[in-house]
Amino acid sequence: MYNNIRTRLEQDFIRCEELARILSLAFESGKNVLLWGPGGHGKSEMVAAALACVATENEIFVQSFGEGMDEATLWGGLDFRALEERKVLIYHPENSFLEKPFAVFEEMFDAPASVLLGLKDTMTARKLRKGGQQFSMKTKVIVAITNKNPEEVADLGPAAAALVERFPLQLKVEWPRYDAADYLELFRKVAPRLPGADLNGSVAVLAEVMAKASADGDVISPRTAVHALGIVKTAAAIRGSAKVEKSDLLDLRFLPGLEDFSSNLRQELEEAYKRASAEAALVAAENNYRNLLPSSDEQTPIKLMQTHKRLLSFVDELAKLVVTDNLAERRKKLREAAQTKAAELLIQAVANVRV
């Protein structure tokens, strides 16, 4: 099960290994699971994708909680005829989560305390107990989703603490880091599915902008980052271009979380494009170095000497390569590696000469 769920999630998401694991444990053991953490990380989407691996649509009940949530909604609605004729509160639990093997509670802890207390009682007894009405709970696993820290929820009172305890499996859903490499991995996964202009090499720049904005202020969530990707592609299309250009990224100023960052956006983009250009040049140099290295059938003295000379020329060219500060050490290591290899080939060539 775990491998199937993980494989499915990795089709659309990154950093999903832990979530795939905890959901697999929940589905296999019948334990309820609580997923919490900052918004925009795809908790609901990943849960839906994982559930599709183990259940049909008819076996899943999704309930959105909130301040307007009441017990009637939780238990499937009121029987108005019973209320009018007999003046009693009777619910329709057959229309509620109690009838389904799997339930998803969105923003569960936003509901009023009275609703949470009733839910806790039902989960404990494994049945609805309201007056003379009883209805057995068929639900095997409840997946609760919230932005709130369960420890803070438990501090709200005994009822909230008791409800939190009904979810023995808990996971905070977030990325361990929000670096450019993380956003770049996300963009490469989702970009092919988004309409609009070709990114034209701007994807690395966009990833760097997301990382820089996250470092300078609030974290840019994966959902907002995907919105950013769609915005720049659409901006190019509005301009009538099939390719994204630097000017299209200026529309990022309309994204929440980038308001403060947008005042320096033009300068940040200029610097990011310079770094991206330098990165591309250095990557090309690294590939060139690997191509210069002799193969197993190029070990004759003449071949080795020819490669030695080419490596020395490569070292001279590398010294002229303009890079940004963040790439200087990487260029230095590449140059040292080429110098060392050139010296080794010279020694090898001399040693292979037969007198």
Quote the CA–CA distance of 203 and 185 in Å, as a whole number: 10
Task: Give the domain-ending residue among 110, 139, 172.
Answer: 172
Tell me: do 117 and 229 sit in the same domain. Answer: no
pLDDT at 296: 67
Bigger pLDDT: 199 vs 23 = 23
| Other CB atoms within 10 A of residue 87 CB | 7
160 token code pair: 């909230």
Residues 6+ positions from 237 with CB-CB distance below 8 Å: 196, 197
Cβ partners under 8 Å of residue 309, min gap 6 = none
Residue 287 lies inside a defined structural domain of this protein: no
Regarding predicted confidence, which is higher, 268 or 98? 98
- Examine the domain organization and report whether 6 and 149 are in the same domain: yes
**Claim to verify: residue 160 and residue 188 sit in the same structural domain:** no
| Cβ contacts of 196 within 8 Å, gap of 6 or more | 230, 233, 234, 236, 237
In a domain, 276, yes or no: no
Lowest mean pLDDT among 84-93, 105-114, 262-271, 328-337: 262-271
> Model confidence over 276-332: pLDDT tens digits?
778 888 888 889 988 888 776 667 888 888 888 888 888 888 888 887 777 888 888
The answer on 236 and 151 residing in a single domain is no
Q: Is residue 94 located within the same domain as residue 190?
A: no
Mean pLDDT of 158-163: 81
Q: Identify whether 156 is part of a domain.
A: yes
Domain-located, residue 279: no
145 and 213 share one domain: no
Please check whether residues 195 and 151 belong to one and the same domain. no
The residues near 6 (Cβ < 8 Å, ≥ 6 apart) are 16, 17, 20, 21, 24
Last residue of a domain, one of 215, 234, 269: 269
Last residue of a domain, one of 172, 204, 235: 172
Asked whether residue 220 is domain-assigned, the answer is yes
| Residue 326: alpha-carbon gap to chain centroid | 26
Per the prediction, the chain carries an average pLDDT of 87
Residue pLDDT, tens place only, 327-351 = 888 888 888 898 998 888 888 888 7
Do 263 and 145 lie in one domain? The reply is no
Is pLDDT at 181 greater than 60 in this prediction? yes
Residue at 281 is within a domain: no
**241 plus 333 within the same structural domain:** no
Q: Specify the pLDDT at position 173.
A: 95
> Rounded mean pLDDT of 246-257?
82
Both tokens of 341, joined, read 């290899």
Q: Are residues 159 and 68 in the same domain?
A: yes
**Which CATH number belongs to the domain containing residue 132 in this structure?**
3.40.50.300
Q: Is residue 288 part of a domain?
A: no
Do 209 and 87 share a structural domain? Answer: no
* Residue 280 counted as domain residue: no
Residue-number span of the structural domain to which 88 is assigned: 2-172
**Considering its fold, how many domains does the chain have in total?**
3
209 pLDDT tier (thresholds 50, 70, 90): confident
Please tell me the least confidently modeled range out of 9-23, 124-138, 165-179, 270-284.
270-284
> Do both 102 and 231 map to the same domain?
no
pLDDT at position 355 over 60: no
pTM (2 decimals)? 0.75
